[in-house]
Chains A and B, each alone.
Chain A
Amino acid sequence: MFRRRPEARPAQGGRLVEVFVAGKPVQVPEGASAAAAVLLSGAPAIRTTPVGGAPRLPYCMIGICFDCLAEIDGVANRQSCLVPVAPGMRIEPQVGARAARIEDAA
């Protein structure tokens, strides 16, 4: 897992943002990504694959590998390395294939 360095971040004038990774509060420097929050939280996986159910954590952090897919604020399969943290953001692991949200059950 990763740790913050309070001596370096947040930069002067910046602040820490509290987000929730699988329900656990994590303090993250403003401007960092949701994927960074996941790695700082120590969560064992950000997703499990839809094919084999294998656990994954972010691999590339630049938006190309798609191993950082997560459910962010209720939206499934978001590339968490491209989503900056926001106060109160809820980041949940993406477990296997996403579900479609069908509201009209009438």
Chain B
Amino acid sequence: MTASGHAMHDAIVIGGGLVGAAIAYGLQRQGLSTVMLDEGDVAHRASRGNFGLVWVQSKGLGAPHYQHWTHASARAWPQLAADLLAGTGIDVGLHQPGGLHFCFSDDEMAQRDALMGQLRREAGNAGYEYRMIPAAELRDMVPGLGPQVVGASWTPYDGHASPLHLLRALHAAFQDGGGLYRPNARVTAIKAAPRDFAVAIGSETVRAPRLVLASGLGNADLAPLVGLSAPLRPERGQILVTERTRQVLALPTHVVRQTEEGSLLLGDSKEDMGFDTLTQTPAIMRAIARKAVQTFPWIAELNIVRAWAALRVMSPDGKPIYDQSERYPGATIANCHSGVTLAGAHAGLLAPMIATGALAPDLSPFSARRFDVQKAA
């Protein structure tokens, strides 16, 4: 103990966004006394710019481990939502009715079919169900489809939830479970030793045998302090939000979804890459609006009341990074741009692994070492 005081915990999670909060919540549920360190009000906050899809459909082409992980998260989601509702009274608005990815030409339909078929082959025994739905049938599933839509791919695994309610519920459940939340706690230094981490917040220090780096882009700077690496870059993503509208769209889609409150969110997903790389320029906003109107012409008369621009956390191949430090056992890093989709896995699967001290072998392909291999090749 020093004069400034060392607070001792079982685990420290750096980052209070969707990734950090899901892991912190999961650790606290494992019975670990956990402290979650968060920044202030205007931190980069990728969590606030999330589209809210729980999306399996086209994640992990050529990367079966990613497909499995995403799928496992989607399966873990109902339990997460139920636990959060029971514990906090907050309904995070999970619906998993399956989701649609629209195609605008016969060529696109054929390419999409080929891609989905490949994903099915790569799924192996885990299974992967999908259908290509022609426009005529699609018109019975969603209202007022534009004439240029020729069809869509559909999987039963997809769904959506409110990212903001999820974040609030995770924070509430974490704190109700005894977790310590520390806002305005920007990390100024980390002193690492095997199973002993001292994290400084200005003059104050918190200590624990487990440390989880879940600070999004901030991980790039923090990872080297604990013998890890996180080659991340920011990508600006943009979403348009309409006024509240009476419920009209029962299924989430890759370009439009309707929230529980009635707002329609408009974006342009690039699937594996999350949303398109954008800056908030009129031209890009226009492109999103055009895509939405092309898909659903009736959206044209709705008012846009908000736009989000948030920095997304991208690794070089767009896939998550989960890694444990070899030099400093007890340190784990978690990075992804799918904080909603993967919340089920983070809270229900990853946190227990961190609690016991070892990531499962099937997560090893997510190690950032894969980028060293690429560099060497």
Residue with the greatest number of chain A CB neighbours at <10 A, chosen from B139, B145, B297, B298: B298
A75 to B302, CA, bound (A): 10
Interface class of chain B by DSSP: loop
Bin chain B's interface residue count. 10 to 19
Q: List 9 A-B contacts (CB under 8 A).
A: A75-B301, A77-B243, A96-B246, A97-B244, A99-B245, A100-B248, A104-B145, A105-B144, A106-B139
A102 within 8 A of B: yes
Q: By the criterion CB–CB under 8 Å, are B298 and A98 in contact?
A: no
Question: Which of A75, A98, A103, A106 makes the CB contact (< 8 A) with B246?
Answer: A98
Residues 85-106 of A, flagged 1 when their CB comes within 8 A of B and 0 if not, give 0000000000011111111111
Q: By the criterion CB–CB under 8 Å, are B246 and A102 in contact?
A: no
B residues apposed to A, CB below 8 Å: 139, 143-145, 243-246, 248, 262, 297-299, 301-303
A63 within 8 A of B: no
Q: By the criterion CB–CB under 8 Å, are B245 and A100 in contact?
A: yes
New A-B contacts (16) at CB < 8 Å, excluding given A98-B246, A101-B298: A75-B301, A76-B301, A77-B243, A77-B303, A97-B243, A97-B245, A97-B262, A100-B246, A101-B301, A102-B143, A102-B144, A102-B298, A103-B144, A103-B298, A104-B145, A105-B143
A104 to B146, CA, bound (A): 9
Q: By the criterion CB–CB under 8 Å, are B144 and A98 in contact?
A: no
Q: By the criterion CB–CB under 8 Å, are A99 and B301 in contact?
A: no
A38 to B302, CA, bound (A): 23
For residue A71, give the distance in angstroms from its CB to the closest CB of chain B.
11
Q: By the criterion CB–CB under 8 Å, are A98 and B145 in contact?
A: no
For residue B172, give the distance in angstroms from its CB to the closest CB of chain A.
21
Residues 58-89 of A, flagged 1 when their CB comes within 8 A of B and 0 if not, give 00000000000000000111000000000000
For residue A106, give the distance in angstroms from its CB to the closest CB of chain B.
6
Q: By the criterion CB–CB under 8 Å, are A102 and B303 in contact?
A: no
**Which residues A17-69 have CB closer than 8 A to chain B?**
50
Determine the chain A residues whose CB is within 8 A of the CB of B302 once the complex forms.
98, 100
Q: By the criterion CB–CB under 8 Å, are B246 and A104 in contact?
A: no
Determine the chain A residues whose CB is within 8 A of the CB of B298 once the complex forms.
100-104
For residue B191, give the distance in angstroms from its CB to the closest CB of chain A.
49
A103 to B299, CA, bound (A): 11
Determine the chain A residues whose CB is within 8 A of the CB of B244 once the complex forms.
50, 97-98
- Contacts A75-B301, A97-B262 given; does A102 touch B248 at CB 8 Å: yes
Determine the chain B residues whose CB is within 8 A of the CB of A101 once the complex forms.
298, 301
Determine the chain B residues whose CB is within 8 A of the CB of A100 once the complex forms.
143-144, 245-246, 248, 298-299, 301-302
A50 to B244, CA, bound (A): 7
A61 to B145, CA, bound (A): 38
Report the nearest A residue to B147, measured CB to CB: A104
Residue with the greatest number of chain A CB neighbours at <10 A, chosen from B244, B297, B299: B244
A105 to B140, CA, bound (A): 9
Report the nearest A residue to B140, measured CB to CB: A106
A10 to B34, CA, bound (A): 70
A99 to B244, CA, bound (A): 9
Determine the chain A residues whose CB is within 8 A of the CB of B297 once the complex forms.
104
Q: By the criterion CB–CB under 8 Å, are B245 and A98 in contact?
A: yes
For residue B303, give the distance in angstroms from its CB to the closest CB of chain A.
6
A96 to B145, CA, bound (A): 25
Determine the chain A residues whose CB is within 8 A of the CB of B145 once the complex forms.
104
Q: By the criterion CB–CB under 8 Å, are B246 and A97 in contact?
A: yes
For residue B353, give the distance in angstroms from its CB to the closest CB of chain A.
41
Determine the chain B residues whose CB is within 8 A of the CB of A99 once the complex forms.
245-246, 248
Q: By the criterion CB–CB under 8 Å, are A104 and B245 in contact?
A: no
A104 to B140, CA, bound (A): 11
A8 to B155, CA, bound (A): 67
Determine the chain B residues whose CB is within 8 A of the CB of A106 once the complex forms.
139
A104 to B248, CA, bound (A): 13
Determine the chain A residues whose CB is within 8 A of the CB of B303 once the complex forms.
77
For residue A11, give the distance in angstroms from its CB to the closest CB of chain B.
34
- Contacts A77-B303, A98-B243 given; does A104 touch B262 at CB 8 Å: no
